[in-house]
Amino acid sequence: MYQTTIQKAVELVGIGLHKGSPVRLKLEPLDSNSGIVFYRSDVGVAIPLIPSNVVDTKMATVIGKDGYVISTIEHLLSAVYAYGIDNLKVIVDADEVPVMDGSSASFCMLLDEACIKELDSPKKIMRITKEVIVQEGDKYVKLTPSPDLKYDFRIKFPHPAIQSQEYVLEFTKEGYKNEIARARTFGFLHEVQYLRSKGLALGGSLENAIVLDEKKVLNPEGLRFTDEFVRHKILDAIGDMSLIGMNFVGNYEAMAGSHDLNHKLTLELLKNTENFEVIELVGEKTAELEKAYA
């Protein structure tokens, strides 16, 4: 199994969640061993996708370099990771990735248009070899060794439309596209009003997020899944875990996980080489992964 990129450059324009302004996003192919590189075309700054470049995780995963940032990268990265893409240049002309409809479905369609191209270097994958956990109170995120890849996420909100939800994704690319990609981000009306008073979430609307008041979902079309909230949390987690720099094999488990906990988990994982091994996928070792990313 070999490293991949995309066959051709593709682009789209969408609204930025926080500034509310149009953002042009362009994806371009890169050679083997280049990794995922973000590029701010408006200021001429490249920001490689590595954990040390994460500068904020309060409301989204934000990377930065030399004082320049790119926000809300996790939905795009979730799709890129699900497609098994190893090398990619992500170009934006602003400080955030467009939010589109609040899910990763638009990015999946963009990658389908770009098509996947196999390169000439073996694909590298990380196998989790020891349990790694980050816990804060009753919230935690955890990685454990496993021969396959599974995301098990639980949430609990004191809201009648959410309450307790759990979803387990036994990962395959098609499973991701069918079960996870369309799940939208969500927020509460009082939070949106507060953020707007601070000049944030100016692009947020019922077109790109699930919005809840104290009792119900405000979107007239309702939910795409009865448990759309926890499915979106898995979508976020997949994007956040792409910061380790390659696809991995192991089980991810979370109780009330967040961008911040996911970032701390990647740092904890990479801190000790006894937690993982990096394998070049050749011969019979590739069977399960080829199935997952077919």
Q: What is the mean pLDDT of residues 177-202?
A: 84
CA distance 173 to 106: 15
As annotated, the active-site residues are: 259
Same domain, 63 and 138: no
Angle between helices 74-82 and 105-114 (to 10 degrees): 50
DSSP symbols for 193-229? HHHHHTT--TT--TTSSEEE-SSSB--TT--SSTTHH
pLDDT digits (tens, 9 = 90+) for 194-208: 777 777 677 878 899
Among 82, 97, 122, give the residue marking a domain's end: 122
Average pLDDT of every residue of the chain: 93
pLDDT digits (tens, 9 = 90+) for 42-73: 999 999 999 999 999 988 899 999 999 999 99
Residue ranges making up the domain that contains 264: 125-292
Kindly report the CATH number assigned to the domain that includes residue 48: 3.30.230.20
How far is the CA of 234 from the CAs of 62, 68, 225, 228, 237, in angstroms? Answer: 18, 28, 14, 10, 5
**What is the number of structural domains in the chain?**
2
Q: 172 pLDDT exceeds 80?
A: yes
And the tokens for 250? 């192991």
Same domain, 21 and 167: no
CA distance 160 to 144: 32
Kindly report the CATH number assigned to the domain that includes residue 271: 3.30.1700.10
Same domain, 74 and 156: no
Same domain, 214 and 76: no
Same domain, 142 and 117: no
- pLDDT above 90 covers what percent of the chain? 84
And the tokens for 65? 């370099």
And the tokens for 39? 């590029």
Angle between helices 228-241 and 259-271 (to 10 degrees): 40
Among 122, 139, 171, give the residue marking a domain's end: 122
Same domain, 138 and 277: yes
Residue 190's pLDDT band, with cuts at 50, 70 and 90, is confident
Same domain, 271 and 157: yes
Same domain, 205 and 285: yes
Same domain, 48 and 137: no
And the tokens for 213? 């008041």
pLDDT digits (tens, 9 = 90+) for 253-291: 999 999 999 999 999 999 999 999 999 987 655 666 666
pLDDT digits (tens, 9 = 90+) for 101-117: 999 999 999 999 999 99
CA distance 95 to 251: 33
Same domain, 115 and 135: no
| pLDDT at 294 (0 to 100) | 58
| pLDDT at 141 (0 to 100) | 98
Residue type, 69: V
Among 122, 155, 172, give the residue marking a domain's end: 122
Residue carrying structure tokens 């899944």: 225
Same domain, 134 and 102: no
DSSP symbols for 239-292? HHHGGGSS-EEEEEEEES--HHHHHHHHHHHHH-GGGEEEEE--GGGGHHHHHH
Q: Is the dihedral of CA 245, 132, 255, 195 positive or negative?
A: negative
Same domain, 273 and 144: yes
